[in-house]
C-alpha cells in the first residue's frame, strides 16, 4: 500500500538552513507576543480577581437612601423659647433646597472643583496631586472628591490604608450611578464636621453666626467652607485670623471658577466677621428644670432616643418667672446671710496685684456695669466716712469708662459689716465686734446703687418745700455724682429651693433647685428630703376637720408628758416660744402654729389615719409612725409639699405636677401629650384614672413599647370642698395674724394663704402658700445640718423669699377671692368658749353645714373637756 503524505508534516519540517536566522527572530517575536498577551490576561485576571475581592465585601449604598443621622433633641419653654439641647452630635438636617446655592458653590470650589463633572473619582485631580507630591517628595495634596468623602464617612471606616482608597473609589462610582449631584451634596453638607461640636452646615451656621443657613452672607458661606479642611485649626472662635485667611482662599476659588463676580469677591473680603460666642443663657437660667425633664425623658425613652433622635420636648417652664424666682431667692438669702454677720473680704492684694486685678477685670468686662449689678472691686482708699472701690474699666469701640464707687461707712457698731460672722470657721478675717474689718487692697463684693439717689436727697433738702413733687428735678444740674454709690455684699453660703405650679393645670412653671446651680447638680426642690416642721401641720388639721373637728373647738394648750413605747423615756414637747396658752381655738392652734395642741389633735385622730390621709395629697416619702409627725419630723420634698398644698385652692382635687406638655419625634409623631385635667364633681375611685388615648392612626405610628400620650386625665378628689375651703381660711389667718404676717407688707394683697415651717435648732425653714391660681413652696437651709442662726424661722428666713417672688408672679393680676362652697356656712362665735353667740358679738367663723355648735350647749372637745376653772378634765 502506498504511503499517504502527512498533511501536518510541513508544520514539523525543519526549516532549510538558509532560513535559519529569520526563523529565530520570528520565534522570539512570537514568544514575546504570547508573553505580553499572557501578562495582559494575568493582569486582567488579577484585576478582576481583585475587583471581585473588594466588591464582594463592600457595603450596600442603599444606606444612603435612608439617611437618618443622630440629631439634636431640643427642650422648649412654655413660650417657645429654646431651653436646652442634647445630642451626641449637634446636627440639624436641612433639605438641599434650604441650603443656599452660594454655600453649595463655596464647598464645591473649596473641596472638589470638578464635582459637577466627574463620576466619583477626579482623574485630573489625581494626576495633579501625584505631580505635586512627586516634586515635593511628600504627601502635600490629596485628591478625594466630595463623593469619595461621602463614601468614606457613611460606608467605610476611617483607617488610612491603600485598600480603603480602592474601596472608596469603587463605592464613589456606584454612588454617582445611583444618586444625583444634589443628593450627594445633601448628604455631605448635613454630615460634615465643622468644629465647635457642630455637625452639618445648619449647626455650624447657628454656632458661629447665630443664624439659619439660608440667611448666611457670601462671606459667611465662604468661611464655613473654609472650615472643611481643618475645622479645629481654622475655627473663627479659636483663630479668627486663620479663619479669615481661609475665607479669602475660598472666595478666590469661587471667583476663579466663575461662581461670583469681582465685585462680590471684593465686598465679601472686606466684610467684618461677626462671630457669636454667647451660649444659650436659658440653659443656665432654668438648669434645674431642664435637668429634671432630661432625667424624665432619658428614663422613659432611653439615652439613645434622647441624644440621637432629635426629639422636640415642649415643657411648662416660664423663663420670666424663673428669673424672678432667682432674683427673689438671691435677695432673701443675702438678707439672711447679712443677719449672721460679715465674713470679711474676698481676698487681699498687694500694690502690684491690685494693678493686675484691675487689668484682668477690665479685660473680662463684656458690658457696662448697670445699677443693681453685684460685682467685685478692690479698695483703693479709705477715710472716716467712705470706702472707695475701683471695679475696673469698660473699653469697647474706642471708648473707656472707669468704674469707681464709694461705700458709706455706718458708724453704728451693730452695722452688719462690723458684726463677725456667726461661725468663726467660715470667716475670712477675724475681728472684734464693732470693728471695721477692711483695709486698702481688700477685694470686696459690692452692689451698684442708683447714682441719682444722693442727688434726689440733696434736691429735696434744698428745694423740697417749694417743689415737694420734684417736678423740676429733670432740670437740676447741681450736685452731679461722679462716683457710684455702693453697698457691701457677700455671697450667701446657705442654700434654698423654690417651686411654682399652676393649681388647676398642674403645670410646673418654676423649679430652682439651689441658690447657685453651678455649685451643684443636686436639685433640692425634687431630690432633697428635709424635715417639714410646722409646714406639715395643715395635713393634720385637714384630717381633723374630716374627722369632725371644727374651727371653734377649744383645745387645751398645757404641759404634755408622753411615755415613748419600748424605751420608757418621757417626751415633754414644748411650744416654739415656750409657755402655754391654755384653752385656745382650733383655728388659733394652726394660725399661731402651736405644737402641743397639734400633738393632742394627732393623738385623737390617730397616726395611721393621718398617714393614709397624707397619701391622698400625693406624699410618697415614708412618714414617721409616732407623734413627732405632728411637728413635721418626717422628711419630705419641696415638690411633694407644693403639690400637696395645691389641693386646698383646687377645692379638694389633687392634680399632680406636670413638667412636659408634649414630646414629638423627628418624623413629627407625637410620643406623648398632656392636656389640663377636668375637675370632676364626683370623686374618682382609686388613685389612678383611665387614660384617654390618641387616635388609632397615630398610635400605630409610635415606637414599639411606648406608653402613649397622657391626655386629659380626670383629677382625683383628695378631700371634700368644704374642708379645702376651711383650711384655706385658716392659712389666710397665718398671714393676717399668725407666723407669716411679714407677707402682709411684702405682697400686700388679701388673696394669699400659706403656712410656715421651722425645725429644731433652726436647721430648716419653710413657707408654702398659694392664691387661687398658683401654689409656691420655698425651703431654706444648709445641705448639712447646720443652724441658720438664732430666730431664723420659716416666717423670717423663707417667707420673705416667697413674698418677693409672688409679688412679681401676681403683678398686674386682679385680686381673686377664695369662693366659699355651698357646703359651708358662717356664724359668729365666742373665741373663749367656741360657742355661737346670741348677740352680734364674737368673731366670724366658718363651719361645714350641720356642724355648727349650739349657743349654750356645754362643749366637749375631742377628748378634753374644759371647766370654768380652766382645769384639764380629760387629757388625751
Give the pairing of strands 484-489 and 399-408.
parallel
Q: How far apart are CA 533 and CA 567, in angstroms?
A: 24
Q: Which of 274, 192, 272, 185 lies closest to 237, judged by CA? A: 274
- CB burial of residue 705 (10 Å; 0-12, 13-18, 19+): exposed
Q: How far apart are CA 499 and CA 642, in angstroms?
A: 7
432 three-state secondary structure = coil
Query: What residues contact 426, with CB distance under 8 A and at least 6 apart?
Result: 343, 493
Q: How far apart are CA 698 and CA 186, in angstroms?
A: 30
Q: Cell match 402641743: residue?
A: 596
Does the active-site annotation cover 534?
A: yes
Q: How far apart are CA 476 and CA 633, in angstroms?
A: 60
Per-residue DSSP letter, 475: G
Per-residue DSSP letter, 586: H
Q: Which of 667, 662, 673 lies closest to 703, judged by CA? A: 667
Q: Which of 123, 127, 177 lies closest to 151, judged by CA? A: 177
Give the pairing of strands 860-861 and 312-315.
unpaired
Q: How far apart are CA 303 and CA 702, in angstroms?
A: 18
Q: How many CA atoms lie within 13 A of 847 on its CB side?
A: 21
Cα separations (Å) of 765 from 181, 231, 665, 777, 793? 67, 52, 42, 11, 6
Q: How far apart are CA 516 and CA 712, in angstroms?
A: 36
313 three-state secondary structure = strand
Does the active-site annotation cover 111?
A: yes
Q: How far apart are CA 295 and CA 422, in angstroms?
A: 38
Contact between 660 and 296 under an 8 Å Cβ cutoff? The reply is: yes
792 three-state secondary structure = coil
Q: Cell match 441650603: residue?
A: 99
Catalytic residue, candidates 144, 172, 534, 552: 534
Cα separations (Å) of 601 from 327, 539, 541, 598, 609? 39, 12, 8, 5, 12
Backbone Cα Rg of the chain: 40
Q: How many residues are recorded in the chain?
A: 876
Q: How far apart are CA 172 and CA 148, in angstroms?
A: 5
Cα separations (Å) of 521 from 421, 452, 781? 27, 40, 17
Catalytic residue, candidates 111, 168, 309, 792: 111
423 three-state secondary structure = coil
Cα separations (Å) of 435 from 340, 412, 439, 440? 16, 10, 12, 15
Q: Which of 759, 775, 756 lies closest to 767, judged by CA? A: 756
Contact between 632 and 533 under an 8 Å Cβ cutoff? The reply is: yes
Cross-strand bridge partners of residue 406: 388, 485
- Maximum distance among all alpha carbons in the chain? 168
Residue 195 region by backbone torsions, left for phi larger than 0, else alpha for psi between -120 and 50, else beta: left
Strands (E), 725-863: 753-758, 764-770, 774-781, 824-829, 843-848, 860-861
Alpha helices in 449-562 (DSSP H): 452-463, 537-546
| Catalytic residue ranges | 111, 534
Amino acid at each position: 500500500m502506498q504511503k499517504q503524505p502527512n498533511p501536518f508534516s510541513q508544520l514539523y519540517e525543519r526549516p532549510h538552513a538558509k532560513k535559519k536566522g529569520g526563523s529565530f527572530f520570528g520565534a522570539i517575536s512570537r514568544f514575546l507576543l504570547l508573553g505580553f498577551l499572557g501578562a495582559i490576561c494575568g493582569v486582567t485576571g488579577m484585576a478582576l480577581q481583585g475587583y471581585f475581592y473588594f466588591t464582594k465585601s463592600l457595603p450596600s449604598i442603599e444606606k444612603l437612601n435612608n439617611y437618618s443621622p443622630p440629631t439634636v433633641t431640643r427642650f422648649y419653654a412654655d413660650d417657645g423659647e429654646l431651653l436646652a439641647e442634647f445630642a451626641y452630635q449637634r446636627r440639624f438636617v436641612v433639605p438641599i433646597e434650604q441650603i443656599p446655592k452660594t454655600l453649595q458653590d463655596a464647598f464645591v470650589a473649596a473641596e472638589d472643583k470638578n464635582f459637577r463633572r466627574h463620576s466619583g473619582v477626579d482623574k485630573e485631580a489625581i494626576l495633579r496631586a501625584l505631580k505635586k507630591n512627586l516634586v515635593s517628595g511628600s504627601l502635600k495634596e490629596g485628591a478625594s472628591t466630595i463623593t469619595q468623602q461621602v463614601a468614606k464617612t457613611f460606608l467605610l471606616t476611617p483607617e488610612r490604608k491603600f485598600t480603603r482608597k480602592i474601596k472608596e473609589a469603587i463605592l464613589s462610582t456606584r454612588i454617582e450611578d445611583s444618586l444625583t449631584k444634589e443628593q450627594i451634596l445633601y448628604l455631605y453638607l448635613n454630615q460634615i464636621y465643622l468644629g465647635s461640636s457642630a455637625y452639618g452646615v445648619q449647626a455650624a451656621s447657628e454656632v458661629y453666626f447665630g443664624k439659619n443657613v439660608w440667611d448666611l452672607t457670601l462671606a459667611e458661606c465662604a468661611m464655613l467652607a473654609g472650615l472643611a479642611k481643618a475645622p479645629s485649626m481654622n475655627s473663627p472662635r479659636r483663630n479668627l485670623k486663620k479663619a479669615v485667611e481661609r475665607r479669602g482662599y475660598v472666595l478666590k476659588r469661587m471667583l476663579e471658577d466663575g461662581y461670583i463676580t469681582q465685585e462680590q469677591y471684593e465686598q465679601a473680603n472686606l466684610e467684618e466677621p461677626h462671630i457669636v460666642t454667647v451660649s444659650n443663657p436659658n440653659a443656665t437660667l432654668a438648669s434645674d428644670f431642664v435637668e429634671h425633664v432630661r432625667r424624665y425623658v432619658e428614663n422613659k425613652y432611653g439615652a439613645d432616643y434622647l441624644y440621637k433622635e432629635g426629639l422636640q420636648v415642649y415643657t411648662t417652664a416660664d423663663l420670666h418667672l424663673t428669673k424672678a424666682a432667682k432674683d427673689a431667692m438671691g435677695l432673701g438669702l443675702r438678707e439672711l446671710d447679712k443677719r449672721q454677720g460679715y465674713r470679711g473680704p474676698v481676698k487681699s492684694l498687694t500694690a502690684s496685684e491690685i494693678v493686675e486685678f484691675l487689668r484682668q477685670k477690665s479685660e473680662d468686662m463684656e458690658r457696662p456695669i448697670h445699677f443693681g449689678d453685684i460685682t467685685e472691686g478692690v479698695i483703693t482708699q479709705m477715710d472716716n466716712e467712705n470706702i472707695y472701690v475701683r471695679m475696673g474699666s469698660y473699653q469697647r469701640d474706642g471708648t473707656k469708662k472707669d468704674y469707681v464707687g464709694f461705700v458709706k461707712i455706718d458708724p453704728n457698731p451693730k452695722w452688719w459689716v462690723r458684726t463677725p460672722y456667726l461661725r468663726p470657721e467660715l470667716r475670712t478675717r477675724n475681728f472684734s465686734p464693732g470693728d471695721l474689718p477692711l483695709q486698702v487692697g481688700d477685694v470686696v463684693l459690692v452692689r451698684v446703687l442708683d447714682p441719682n439717689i444722693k442727688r434726689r436727697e440733696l434736691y429735696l433738702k434744698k428745694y423740697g418745700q417749694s417743689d415737694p413733687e420734684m417736678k423740676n428735678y429733670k432740670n437740676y444740674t447741681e450736685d452731679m455724682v461722679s462716683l457710684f454709690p455702693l453697698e457691701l455684699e457677700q455671697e450667701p453660703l446657705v442654700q434654698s429651693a423654690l417651686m411654682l405650679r399652676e393649681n388647676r393645670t398642674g403645670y410646673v412653671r418654676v423649679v430652682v433647685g439651689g441658690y447657685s446651680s453651678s455649685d451643684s447638680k443636686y436639685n433640692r426642690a425634687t431630690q432633697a428630703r428635709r424635715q417639714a416642721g410646722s409646714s406639715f401641720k395643715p395635713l393634720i388639721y385637714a384630717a381633723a376637720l374630716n374627722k369632725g373637728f371644727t374651727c371653734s373647738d377649744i383645745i387645751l394648750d398645757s404641759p404634755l408628758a408622753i411615755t415613748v413605747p419600748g424605751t420608757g423615756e418621757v417626751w415633754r414637747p414644748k411650744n416654739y416660744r415656750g409657755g402655754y396658752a391654755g384653752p385656745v381655738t382650733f383655728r388659733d392652734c394652726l394660725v399661731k402654729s402651736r405644737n402641743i395642741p397639734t400633738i393632742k389633735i394627732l393623738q385623737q385622730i390617730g397616726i395611721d389615719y393621718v398617714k393614709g390621709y397624707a397619701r391622698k395629697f400625693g406624699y410618697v416619702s415614708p412618714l414617721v409612725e409616732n407623734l413627732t409627725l405632728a411637728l413635721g419630723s418626717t422628711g419630705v420634698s419641696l415638690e411633694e409639699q407644693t403639690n400637696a398644698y395645691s389641693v386646698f385652692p383646687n377645692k379638694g382635687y389633687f392634680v399632680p405636677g406636670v413638667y412636659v406638655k408634649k414630646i414629638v419625634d423627628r418624623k413629627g409623631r407625637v410620643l406623648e401629650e398632656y392636656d389640663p385635667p377636668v375637675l370632676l364633681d364626683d370623686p374618682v375611685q382609686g388613685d389612678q384614672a383611665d387614660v384617654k388615648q390618641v387616635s388609632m392612626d397615630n398610635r400605630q405610628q409610635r415606637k414599639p413599647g411606648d406608653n402613649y400620650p397622657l391626655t386629659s386625665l380626670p383629677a382625683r378628689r383628695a378631700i371634700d370642698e368644704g374642708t379645702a375651703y376651711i383650711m384655706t381660711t385658716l392659712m389666710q389667718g397665718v398671714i393676717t395674724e399668725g407666723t407669716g404676717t411679714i407677707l402682709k407688707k411684702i405682697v400686700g394683697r388679701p388673696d394669699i394663704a400659706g403656712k410656715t415651717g421651722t425645725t429644731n435648732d433652726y436647721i430648716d425653714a419653710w413657707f408654702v402658700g398659694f392664691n387661687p391660681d398658683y401654689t409656691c413652696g420655698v425651703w431654706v437651709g444648709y445641705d448639712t445640718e447646720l443652724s441658720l442662726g438664732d430666730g431664723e424661722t420659716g416666717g423670717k428666713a423663707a417667707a420673705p423669699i416667697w413674698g418677693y417672688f409672688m409679688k412679681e408672679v401676681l403683678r398686674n393680676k386682679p385680686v381673686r377671692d377664695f369662693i366659699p362652697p355651698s357646703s359651708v356656712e358662717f356664724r359668729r362665735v365666742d373665741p373663749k368658749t367656741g360657742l355661737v353667740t346670741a348677740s352680734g358679738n364674737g368673731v366670724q367663723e366658718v363651719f361645714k353645714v350641720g356642724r355648727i355648735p349650739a349657743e349654750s350647749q356645754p362643749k366637749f372637745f375631742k377628748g378634753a373637756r374644759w371647766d370654768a376653772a380652766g382645769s384639764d378634765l380629760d387629757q388625751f
